A and B are shown apart, each in its own frame.
Chain A
Amino acid sequence: MDRPLGLLAELSYACPLHCPYCSNPVNLADYRDELTTGEWQRVLAEAAELGVLQAHLSGGEPLQRRDLAEIVRAASRLGLYTNLITSGFGLSARRAGQLRDAGLDHVQISLQADEAALADRIAGAPSFERKKAAARLVKKLGWPLTVNVVLHRHNIDRAGRILELAAALGADRVELANAQYYGWALRNRGGLLPSRAQLERAEAAVRAARARLDGRMEVIYVVPDYYGRYPKPCMGGWGRRQLTVVPNGDVLPCPTAHALPLPRASVRERPLAWIWERSPLFQRFRGTGWMPEPCRSCDRREVDFGGCRCQAFLLTGDAARTDPVCHLSPDHGIVAAAIRTAGSAAGPAGTLACRPHPGRARNG
């Protein structure tokens, strides 16, 4: 069995933003009983012992945890590479200084668009100017900066201008990531999924920006799996490279596996090593033995691992089926129908449900 390389630590689902593409679970209130500082320190130590090298501190908004610097310091002392995945909201000069002193290695800030009115409408809160200020602060303190932008029907036509903004902010890397349809995003798919024509224009804008920038900024484009021929190799295989610990201590093979009807595993009840190696949850889709046809006899079974278990479950009701995104899946018609609808819509359609603020018990 492989050892995990990365831990995604979702510290809190509290978030001041209300993005309609959020992949957090829809039942946010179930995660209010957050792990304490001491519990996170123990989880990080167990993760390092297990072989984890990178800790991605995310949420919700991880800056909502007042003990974030303590958690970063614990990870850093264990030798982990620490990556803060934030909206930038709440990154004051004081807190940034504390995180710098605690040993934080890298910061990723999300942007919603290249201009305030659209960005703030998508985020459901006035946030654009504060995010830009946070990005400048990250650069001022000498951190490497990644800007992450989730693309969907409402902002994808601005991909070129978004890349210009990221370059102007001094980003070292920018990730343009097409929305993935889980949690709130799946609920809002009808209003978010771009058309094929939109995607082609965005890809042309990415190529043009790469040529113009000549290597000065790394431009990562995450392809939208709905439009691919094959599914994404989600998490590099179930229980193979990555694990996620969510705010209440549940451990998951991927951050959207909340939804699957599988037995829970919690760091409040078991050591992380037992969960990784022995728990029914992590063993359920590990390797290729669980696969149905057409995956079982497919040449790509160890390339994309049958795609995403969560997507299979959310779209077909059975997590053990081939990801319907794959053109070989017997359920591919579900995805094809969603694409046809996106292509026929004249423009932004439907009302988007904004994720709410979940409230939380006090631990952080």
Chain B
Amino acid sequence: MPSTMPMRTDSGPGPAGLPGPASRPRLARGVRLAFDPARQRHVLLTPETVTVLNDTGAAILRLCDGERTVAGILAELRCRYDGVAGEEVRLFLAAMLARRRVEVSRG
């Protein structure tokens, strides 16, 4: 540095598409799930961004450990909560993948 500060940027899209049921999502490198005590809410932190999460989003991301499959995450959520909509969970994960907050192994 010092040469830049936050401003208008164009970061391009990340990988597109829904994660398959057998894929094993995990938080992307450098992404941290945290509880923000000042605002009493869960957040996802990267070097340049803060994403505010609702409780459902936080519950899904806590299960993205690179071990569980998407199917496993859904099963786990259904044990804990009523009325878990699989399609919504997959869409949420797809959005997180596209924004590079979550990754799945390539290949």
- On A, residues with C-beta under 8 Å from B are 3, 5-6, 8, 10, 19, 21-24, 48-51, 53-54, 56, 58-60, 79, 81, 83, 85-86, 105-106, 108, 110, 142-144, 146, 148, 150, 172, 175, 177, 179-180, 185, 210, 214-215, 218-223, 225, 228, 232-236, 241-242, 254-256
Contacts and interface: CB of A to CB of B under 8 A. Distances in A.
Given A172-B29, A222-B7, A85 B1 contact: yes
B20 interface: no
B89 interface: no
Contact of B50 (A48, A53, A58): A53
Contacts of B4: 23, 148, 150, 175, 177, 180, 222
Contacts of B1: 23, 58-60, 85-86, 108, 110, 148
B43 interface: yes
A1 to B, nearest CB: 13
B2 A58 contact: yes
Given A54-B47, A59-B2, A105-B32, A215 B10 contact: no
Given A148-B3, A218-B12, A218-B100, A50 B47 contact: no
22 contacts: A8-B5, A23-B2, A24-B2, A51-B38, A53-B36, A53-B45, A54-B45, A54-B47, A54-B50, A56-B47, A59-B2, A81-B32, A81-B45, A172-B29, A179-B3, A185-B3, A214-B15, A218-B100, A225-B7, A225-B8, A234-B7, A256-B5
A304 to B, nearest CB: 8
B39 interface: yes
Q: Which of A51, A53, A210 has the most CB of B within 10 A?
A: A53
B13 interface: yes
A102 to B, nearest CB: 15
Interface string B56-67: 000000000000
A130 B38 CA distance: 40
Q: Interface range on chain B: under 10, 10 to 19, 20 to 34, or 35 or more?
A: 20 to 34
Given A3-B38, A220-B11, A10 B6 contact: no
Contacts of A50: 38
B38 to A, nearest CB: 4
Given A21-B3, A53-B43, A179-B3, A223 B9 contact: yes
Given A81-B47, A220-B10, 10 more contacts: A5-B50, A54-B50, A60-B1, A83-B47, A148-B3, A177-B4, A219-B12, A225-B8, A241-B6, A256-B5
A81 B45 CA distance: 7
Interface string B62-104: 0000000000000000000000000000000000000010000
Contacts of A5: 50
A22 B3 contact: yes
B103 to A, nearest CB: 10
Given A144-B30, A219-B11, A223-B8, A108 B47 contact: yes
A56 B46 CA distance: 11
B28 to A, nearest CB: 8
B25 to A, nearest CB: 15
Contact of B6 (A19, A58, A85, A235): A235
A110 B4 CA distance: 11
Contacts of B6: 235-236, 241-242
A12 to B, nearest CB: 11
B14 interface: yes
Contacts of A23: 1-5
Return the 6 tightest CB-CB contacts between A and B, nearest first: A144-B30, A51-B38, A232-B7, A177-B4, A81-B45, A150-B3
Contacts of A254: 5
Nearest to B10: A221
Contacts of B7: 180, 222, 225, 232-234
B34 interface: yes
